[in-house]
Amino acid sequence: MKNSIPDQVIGVPISFARGVCEHVKLGPKISETVKGKLSLGARIVQGGGVQGVFRHLFSVEEGEKLLKASQCYLYTTAGPIAGLLFISTEKIAFCSERSLRFSSSSSSGEIVRVPYKVSIPLRKIKRATQSENTKNPKEKYVEIVTKDNFDFWFMGFVNYQKAFKHLQQAISLSSTRC
């Protein structure tokens, strides 16, 4: 089948296809990545869509609007964690696709499962910058630095440029309101 549209493969933009490949490669195993995506999809359907999941997972202020939700990875010292990055008019928030397992501090030592969540008010963001791996320029990152000098690294976006554009817009809107 010949494609008449440049920069597309069977009607799918090449940049999107590359983004999907990079996103999947960051997972530990393809089977784990697929399980996580299915679990995430089920959670979104059960929650009434991405907006419903966002409202359920994070405290949402009156008038706050969800601008964009993007699948990505949050890089931690233990490695990347797959999840959803929510960009709203008030905050950026990340929630892992799958719950992390911890041993309870109680004497029973039972295993507790909790999602990995991060919430950063836009007014607390000092800057958001784009970066790429110098050895592999296809690996793109977004670094968010807070005013108290904590930094968060997000990577493996399916659509890196669109996610970064929405993040910049949210930060810009926030700074004009302060």
Between 97 and 19, the more confident residue is: 97
DSSP 78-126: TEEEEEEEEEESSEEEEEESSPEEEE-SSTT--EEEE--EEEEEGGGEE
User: What is the model's pLDDT at position 30?
Assistant: 62
Between 75 and 20, the more confident residue is: 75
Q: Encode pLDDT of 91-114 as tens digits.
A: 999 999 888 887 777 767 788 888
Listed residue (164, 158, 121) closest to 142, CA to CA: 164
One-letter identity of residue 162: K
The architecture of the domain spanning 8-177 is Roll (2.30)
Q: Encode pLDDT of 128-162 as tens digits.
A: 999 988 898 888 899 999 999 999 999 988 888 99
Q: Encode pLDDT of 39-57 as tens digits.
A: 655 555 555 677 888 888 8
Percent of the chain residues topping a pLDDT of 90: 42
On the 0-12 / 13-18 / 19+ scale of CB atoms within 10 A, 124 is: middle
Q: At what angle do helices 30-46 and 50-57 cross, to 10 degrees?
A: 90
User: What is the model's pLDDT at position 27?
Assistant: 57
- Top mean-pLDDT range of 3-7, 57-61, 107-111: 57-61
**Structural domain spans, the chain:** 8-177
Asked if pLDDT for residue 178 goes beyond 70, the answer is no
User: What is the model's pLDDT at position 118?
Assistant: 96
User: What is the model's pLDDT at position 43?
Assistant: 59
Asked if pLDDT for residue 10 goes beyond 70, the answer is no
User: What is the model's pLDDT at position 29?
Assistant: 64
